[in-house]
Amino acid sequence: MHIKKRLAAAALSLIASTSALAELKVGAVMASFDDNYLTYVREHMAAKARADGVQLQFEDARNDVVKQLSQVESFISQKVDAIVVHPVDTAATRSITDAAVKAGIPLVYINRKPDDAKLPPGVVTVTSDDIEAGRLQMQFMADRMDGKGRIGILLGDLANNSTRGRTQGIKEVLAKYPGITVVEEQTGLWLRDKGMDLTSNWLLAGQQLNAILSNNDEMGIGAAMALRQAGRKDVLVGGSDGTPDGIAAVKRGLLAVSVFQDAKGQAEGSLDAALKMIAKQPVDQHLLIPYRLITADNVGEFQVATKR
């Protein structure tokens, strides 16, 4: 009888726990739904939310800082249990942080870490080390170029620290190779068509390039397409993120290399962190998801890993 009572109590506890979890609401504000990488982040986050029985609502800030803050404030007024934010501008997150902390709502920054040196309790980040991504990409290129040549760099949006971090990593490695010269460096705003246009302009201007390094796969694919249209198959192109399109481009030889940023790891890590904070469980304030190099030699591993 005593055992039956304990089993019944355990069952009631499990039902209560499951019921409470099913009622949890998480609001997620993305910088832009047009960002290809963030599409995969949203898909993985949505899948985990369904598996965990969490109600998840996404909003698109459309790269507007003011709009993003308004969306966060709307989630706060709806009394969601936690908020996940992919910031439009990493230098303009203080208002978002202050609003969430004041409301006592757990806040998770995903993919892009705020520029603030110290974040208050109740705020965590789930990111990858962008400097390492730049280092990995440039070291691969330097080895392929035998430490000499002329390169162009396609920068992401200048307003966020992913661009700065990845470019810093590239230039840290470049400092070891005086034989490699940067002859072009412009922003393509993370977009494939911008990468294509910039590369076409460089070629039309008569620039002699041995390699183009891109802060993401989309701009890199655009650069590779422009090079192919110009009949230039001798220029190496590198990307970063390891999106399914980027991985396919490595397999096809459009990209010589990409650096895998784990969209699934970031998505699931951010939702896990949010749920732990809601449950008042300990969580690391800064969770790092590692980058990995993607080349023609190992691209098959990543095709399997990213199948959805």
Burial (CB < 10 A; 0-12, 13-18, 19+), residue 90, is buried
Cross-strand pairs, 58: 28
- Please, what's the b/e burial string for 163-191 (b: 16 or more CB within 10 A of its CB; e: otherwise)? bbbbbebbbebbeebeebeeebebbbbbb
pLDDT reported for residue 304: 55
pLDDT reported for residue 117: 83
Contact criterion met (CB below 8 Å) for 156 and 89: no
- Looking at the fold, whether 143 and 196 belong to one and the same domain comes out as yes
- Looking at the fold, whether 251 and 276 belong to one and the same domain comes out as no
pLDDT reported for residue 160: 78
The answer to whether residue 4 is domain-embedded is no
- Looking at the fold, whether 237 and 249 belong to one and the same domain comes out as yes
Domain span at 68: 25-128+263-290
- Looking at the fold, whether 105 and 161 belong to one and the same domain comes out as no
Q: What are phi and psi of 29, to 5 degrees?
A: -110, 115
The answer to whether residue 301 is domain-embedded is no
- Looking at the fold, whether 147 and 251 belong to one and the same domain comes out as yes
For residues 293 and 276, what is the distance between their CA atoms, to the nearest angstrom?
31
The answer to whether residue 286 is domain-embedded is yes
- Looking at the fold, whether 168 and 202 belong to one and the same domain comes out as yes
The answer to whether residue 2 is domain-embedded is no
pTM assigned to the model: 0.78
Helix (H) or strand (E) holding 236: strand 236-238
pLDDT (tens place) for every residue of the chain, 308 residues total: 344 444 444 444 443 444 444 589 999 999 999 988 999 999 999 999 999 999 999 999 999 999 999 999 999 999 999 999 999 999 999 999 999 999 999 999 999 999 998 999 999 999 999 999 999 999 999 999 999 999 999 999 998 788 999 999 999 999 999 999 999 999 999 999 999 999 999 999 999 999 999 999 999 999 999 999 999 999 999 999 999 999 999 999 999 999 999 999 999 999 999 999 999 999 999 999 999 999 999 999 997 555 44
- Looking at the fold, whether 134 and 224 belong to one and the same domain comes out as yes
For residues 237 and 145, what is the distance between their CA atoms, to the nearest angstrom?
12
- Looking at the fold, whether 215 and 247 belong to one and the same domain comes out as yes
- Spell out the alpha helix ranges (H) of 23-151: 36-52, 65-77, 94-103, 130-144
- Looking at the fold, whether 63 and 146 belong to one and the same domain comes out as no
The DSSP string of 58-95 is EEE-TT-HHHHHHHHHHHHHTT-SEEEE--S-TTS-HH
Give the count of alpha carbons within 13 A of 246, CB side only.
32
pLDDT reported for residue 76: 98
Q: Residue length, the chain?
A: 308
The answer to whether residue 166 is domain-embedded is yes
Q: Which residues contact 299 (CB under 8 A, 6 or more apart)?
A: 247, 250, 251
For residues 163 and 132, what is the distance between their CA atoms, to the nearest angstrom?
12
- Looking at the fold, whether 88 and 57 belong to one and the same domain comes out as yes
Domain total in the chain: 2
The answer to whether residue 75 is domain-embedded is yes
Kindly report the CATH number assigned to the domain that includes residue 224: 3.40.50.2300
pLDDT reported for residue 22: 52
The answer to whether residue 8 is domain-embedded is no
- Looking at the fold, whether 149 and 36 belong to one and the same domain comes out as no
The answer to whether residue 7 is domain-embedded is no
For residues 156 and 227, what is the distance between their CA atoms, to the nearest angstrom?
19
- Looking at the fold, whether 68 and 95 belong to one and the same domain comes out as yes
pLDDT reported for residue 305: 52
- Choose one of 243, 260, 277: the last residue of a domain: 260
| Closest of 98, 74, 72 to residue 83, by C-alpha | 72
Task: Provide the CA 79 distance to its chain's centre, in angstroms.
Answer: 27
